Amino acid sequence: MPKRKQSFLVRHSMRLLASAGLLLLIWVLLLDTHSLWTRIVLHTEQRALQTEIAEISGEIDHVNQLLNRPLSDADVERIAREAYSMQRPGELVFPLVEP
């Protein structure tokens, strides 16, 4: 069969296959909803969230330790004076008003 009479698909089959493969590769790597790029972005976000969770868990543990310790008499007195404006018998308290 002469070269001129071959169909377009037969003459350019390797180029078409390579182009289709390249388009499929670009689609899988960049454009699909489950693409490699999306997975990288989500993985980075997951790492950031896991470190934030670890920091917050540490803070929660610290606060729980503070809440579980018993209050001394000095702590109770300080809280009563600061939060509830309580005073000792015979003591004169002058409240300070901030502008």
- What residues contact residue 49 under an 8 Å CB cut-off, 6+ apart? none
DSSP state of 12: T
39-79 pLDDT per residue, tens: 899 999 999 999 999 999 999 999 999 889 888 888 888 88
Does this model's pTM top 0.75? Answer: no
Instruction: DSSP for 27-60, please give it.
Output: IIIIISTT-HHHHHHHHHHHHHHHHHHHHHHHHH
DSSP state for residue 34 in the 8-state scheme: T
What pLDDT digit, counting tens, does each position of 80-92 carry? Answer: 888 887 888 888 8
Q: Per-residue pLDDT for 1 more than 50?
A: no
